[in-house]
Amino acid sequence: MSLFDLRACTLGHEHIAHAHAHHQLILATCGVTELEIEGHGDRVTGGRGCLIPYAHHHEYEGDGENRTLVLNLPLGALGTLRDGEDMERLFDRPRFFPVPARLNQLAGTLMVQLEQYPALHSEIAALLLRALYLHLEDRTAAADPGFPFARRANERLDLARLNAWIDRHLADDIRVEQLAALCALSPGHFHACFRELTGTTPLAHVQGRRLDHARALIRHGSLSLGHIAALIGFRDQGSFSRAYRRHFDLAPSMERQRALAICRVAGKSS
């Protein structure tokens, strides 16, 4: 095995059970993998990763739709990195851990880079490890669960699942109580956990997804702005336009004019 063995893959429906003589980090950008370490199970998702120290028996089965980063680390490999001795603590015991949105986004970016530039897999692996180390170091020791894994409330937040639900209900009046119920949490507790995980409030997150969806419709469709406003849950075009301008620093009408101009230029050049 090379110093850092990092690969991007899709874990299928086959049930695998084994142990290995190296540490392993597993992160997913989407999908679900059911994983059990010495009798203690959990799920690897876009919002939840896993660290498996060497010689620990584990079993897993993917959903066939995940995109997963698997990093295998020979014993002693971390010693080649800055803060390597401290980073060895990442693997002092098996654990699942919450993956905030910013770390999930970084994993997605690095997955693309890995697929485009496989020769850089060691450098990409080192960057990923450093980011994970800094993320876990920011968490207090009291909040860091030990083995077996006692799932904390904010680790019940499957952000990918929440986003999928939000996107299906953009035209509706989405309330924090509804999102909290999806995670089996009280609204107050959900709000606090969501802010800890994403750095923003649930309703601000919903608003951002509404406006991102609106931008795609404006750029790539011909629906009127009023129709788009209704589709994403605004009561009228005026409130939609004001929110859009605050979010993107650009009026939706100007966004459409830019998109049309780009299309005209592309049509002339083709």
Taking 70 as the threshold, does the pLDDT of residue 31 lie above it? yes
Q: Is 68 helix (H, G, I), strand (E, B) or coil?
A: strand
Domain-wise residue ranges, the chain: 5-151, 156-269
Kindly give, in sequence order, each residue whose CB lies less than 8 Å from that of residue 74, ignoring residues fewer than 6 positions away. 1, 3, 22
Reported confidence tier of residue 143, pLDDT bands at 50, 70, 90: very low
d(CA 15, CA 33): 10
Element (H, E) at 12: none
Q: Is 67 helix (H, G, I), strand (E, B) or coil?
A: strand
User: And the tokens for 152?
Assistant: 């904390």
Mean per-residue pLDDT for 141-149? 42
pLDDT at 148: 40
The pTM score is 0.53
Kindly give, in sequence order, each residue whose CB lies less than 8 Å from that of residue 160, ignoring residues fewer than 6 positions away. 30, 45, 46, 47
pLDDT at 68: 96
Give CATH superfamily name and number for 5-151: Regulatory protein AraC (2.60.120.280)
Reported confidence tier of residue 149, pLDDT bands at 50, 70, 90: very low
C-beta neighbour count of 140 within 10 angstroms:
7
Q: What is the CATH number of domain 156-269?
A: 1.10.10.60
Kindly give, in sequence order, each residue whose CB lies less than 8 Å from that of residue 157, ignoring residues fewer than 6 positions away. 47, 98, 183, 190, 193, 194, 197
Mean per-residue pLDDT for 208-227? 93
d(CA 37, CA 57): 6
User: And the tokens for 86?
Assistant: 């401290």
The answer to whether the 5-151 and 156-269 domains have the same CATH topology is no
Taking 60 as the threshold, does the pLDDT of residue 270 lie above it? no
Cis peptide before 148 (omega within 30 of 0): yes
